[in-house]
A = this chain, B = another copy of it.
Amino acid sequence: MKPTPPPYPTKGVSLRELRGGHVEIIAWVHDIARDRGGICLTLRDASGVRSFKVPDGTALGEVTRESLIRIKGFLSGDELRINGCEALVRGPKELPVNLSKPPEDPKSFARYSYLLIRSPKYADVLRIQQWIVHYTREFLYNEGFVELLAPMISPCSDPGLRGARKLLTKLYGSDYELMSSVIMFKQAAAASFERVFFVARNVREEPPENIRTGRHLCEFTQIDVEWALKGMFDVMRLCERMIIYVMSKLMESHGDIVHRYNPDIKVPEAPFEVISYDEAVEKLKALGISTPKGKELTQEGERKLSELYDEPIWIVEYPKTSRGFYYMEEPRRAGYNRDFNLILPRGYGEVVDGGEREYRYEKIVERIKEMGEDPSRYGWFLELAKMGIPPSAGFGLGVERFTKYVLGLKYIWEAVPFPKVPGITMSP
């Protein structure tokens, strides 16, 4: 069999590499505007956006924004004399969104994200996200952690959902849950690898009102780390070093892009400040914000607290009634966990949660019952716990929240391709 060319022109040189002389360009029409003495044609491809002056009177045909066009011409400086222009793909008469200024309204953003992905800012965000995840992996690989591919469904998933609901499905008629957290899988794997992590996709039906926080998504990604035979302060130190490594590497390799969107960003210094949950509650009380007894800090409280700081801070020892059954109770202080959250400063709020895990079968069953849950819902995990799981500590870092922080974004749906925003669904 001999190779045959595709039935359409293929791409040669990118806009960025384009030099003067005879040129053949294939690119998207990002914008087209007539001004005095000519046409300003702004083209876009993966290398970026570039504007050309096209002499007045040039026949461009019915070229609309978001047409994919092929131009033959002569380039000198930014003047492009066009000898031939053909639309490989014809753009719509009217674009439903402005790619240079994506909509603030989350419904429009989610609805047209498949188109907005072409907007230069959104594309930059997703490129930076690629490097955030890459440097996170690099750090964890260097620390000897093994990465496993995360499951998508399981007979049982994480219960600690803070008001969100699990999504359900059927496999051969049996009930399965979509992964809302890999916590139980991390604990199982830590028995083998000691140091293990997943880049795990999770899905949860968030209360629709969480759209207002600008930091909740129904589908999100966690860097989910677990370390056997280590304690909470070991993994907190690991997490600090990870965040500092990722941000330092990112500034080294892509600092120009990061600074363009977030001029104020700086790499934090370790160790981060540690305050207890009780101290946090007191601080909020002083601000006139009350925290319901035995519950997580409120969304509002977390945000307010986060505004008090200029560096990330740890909050430790949450009441055990506020978290999932799998946390280890602090033996020195009944009713409180050996657990933590990392709060990003300047209003960005929680980005990491974690702690030490309860690994003793009887204690796990006791905790499940205390939470008013049915132990039979956690069948395979309890079966394993009965055979033995190691003590461990770990954490999950929200990739989209971290991306939002690094780039100083206003809304979390700008920090994920094809976002699922609380309360909003799409028809097929």
- In the complex, what residues of B have CB within 8 A of residue A232's CB? 6
Known: A66-B387, A89-B389. A6 touches B328 (CB 8 A): yes
Q: Which of A71-79, A164-172, A258-266, A292-300 is found at the contact surface with chain B? A: A164-172
- In the complex, what residues of B have CB within 8 A of residue A376's CB? 428
- In the complex, what residues of B have CB within 8 A of residue A279's CB? 1
- Count, chain A residues at interface, CB 8 A: 121
Q: A174-212: which residues lie under 8 A (CB-CB) from chain B?
A: 174-176, 178-179, 185, 188-189, 191-195, 201-203, 205, 208
Q: A307-354: which residues lie under 8 A (CB-CB) from chain B?
A: 314, 316, 328, 330-332, 338
- In the complex, what residues of B have CB within 8 A of residue A193's CB? 46, 123, 127
Kindly report which residue of chain B lies nearest to residue A218, judged by CB atoms. B171
Distance in angstroms from A245 CB to nearest chain B CB is 17
- In the complex, what residues of B have CB within 8 A of residue A386's CB? 92
B6, B91, B424: the one contacting A231 at CB < 8 Å is B6
Q: Which of A35-43, A55-63, A130-138, A406-414 is found at the contact surface with chain B? A: A130-138
- In the complex, what residues of B have CB within 8 A of residue A28's CB? 191
Q: Which of A101-109, A114-122, A281-289, A364-372 is found at the contact surface with chain B? A: A114-122
Q: Report whether B428 and A155 are in contact in the complex, using a CB–CB cutoff of 8 Å.
A: yes
Q: Report whether B427 and A91 are in contact in the complex, using a CB–CB cutoff of 8 Å.
A: no
Kindly report which residue of chain B lies nearest to residue A149, judged by CB atoms. B221
Q: Report whether B26 and A229 are in contact in the complex, using a CB–CB cutoff of 8 Å.
A: yes
- In the complex, what residues of B have CB within 8 A of residue A45's CB? 194
Q: Report whether A172 and B423 are in contact in the complex, using a CB–CB cutoff of 8 Å.
A: yes
Q: Report whether B417 and A332 are in contact in the complex, using a CB–CB cutoff of 8 Å.
A: no
Distance in angstroms from A122 CB to nearest chain B CB is 8
Q: Report whether B219 and A153 are in contact in the complex, using a CB–CB cutoff of 8 Å.
A: yes
Contact surface of A with B, Cβ cutoff 8 Å: 1, 3-11, 26, 28, 45-46, 66-68, 88-92, 95, 114-115, 117-118, 123, 126-127, 129-130, 133-134, 137, 141, 144, 146-156, 167-176, 178-179, 185, 188-189, 191-195, 201-203, 205, 208, 218-219, 221, 228-234, 274-276, 279, 314, 316, 328, 330-332, 338, 356, 359, 376-381, 384, 386-391, 393, 399, 416-418, 420, 423-428
Given A46-B192, A149-B399: 5 more A-B contacts, CB < 8 Å? A3-B233, A6-B393, A115-B387, A126-B148, A151-B417
List 17 A-B pairs, Cβ < 8 Å. A7-B328, A7-B331, A9-B229, A10-B229, A46-B228, A129-B149, A134-B141, A150-B201, A152-B178, A152-B202, A153-B219, A153-B420, A155-B426, A167-B169, A167-B176, A172-B425, A378-B428
